[in-house]
Amino acid sequence: MSLDKFDLTDLHLPKGPIITESQDGVSRKVLVSLHRAGVVRKLGPGLYSQDLVTPAQELIRKKFWRIVAYYFDEAIVSDRSALYEGLPIDGVVTVVSNTRLSPVVLPGLKVLPRKGSSAFFDDIPWLHGLTFASVPRTIVENLMLWNRDKNRKRSASPDELYDWLGKKINFANSMEISTFKSRSIEIASFMEVSSSNIEEFLDGVNSKLMRKSTKLGLGDLKLIDPYEKL
């Protein structure tokens, strides 16, 4: 298609820096023609930008949630990424997706999908139609993957999980870890995963927190779900 065959002012390109096929009402054929004419540049499969100056990595970093949702519709932000509010760790975001299973590699961003359970009632609605794994689900899936994945590229270690839970401590109330434990066991059962290591891990966390509480004279400790207020 030649650009002479249509008026650019009639295209109604989105004002933002990121343009995606279909989602923004611009066909692939038109985007390919605009790319060839130097009006837009290609950042990845089906992903373009009108910004011809800003480094691609910076553009992707600013809009990475929208980009993740474009490639992985209705995915669940999970595994190690769930410990870090979904922010890329070493440029990597991990998701559960039952629609697309091939990784997406872009400048400064790699999205690693895996097949897994659909969203549970206590998973958190997130941006652009995505979902965020709940605390119990995060515990179960990371321990499950840590034990299964020899390379351990997408799972957090037990020590990371402990530190993550420790950051959610409220010193004013009694401990509620039993709630996390019971829900984690329910999720493990649904996923057909042994709950023994999950129980052992959470009992260990409980013991460590109680020892810390006694040592510091702070009274009982409470684990707080960081997403309950979102």
If asked whether residues 143 and 201 sit together in one domain, one would say: yes
Question: Tens of pLDDT along 128-139?
Answer: 999 999 999 999
Q: How far is CA 13 from the centre of its chain?
A: 28
If asked whether residues 145 and 212 sit together in one domain, one would say: yes
Q: What pLDDT does residue 28 have?
A: 83
Contact between 173 and 191 under an 8 Å Cβ cutoff? The reply is: no
Residue 93's DSSP bridge partners are 111
If asked whether residues 140 and 200 sit together in one domain, one would say: yes
- List the Cα angle 55/59/65 in 5-degree steps: 155
Q: Is the pLDDT of residue 158 over 80?
A: yes
Q: What pLDDT does residue 192 have?
A: 86
Percentage of the chain beyond pLDDT 70 is: 77
1 inside domain: no
If asked whether residues 108 and 153 sit together in one domain, one would say: no
Span 45-56, mean pLDDT?
91
Q: Which domain holds residue 20?
A: 9-54
3 inside domain: no
Q: Specify the pairing of strand 109-114 against strand 104-106.
A: antiparallel
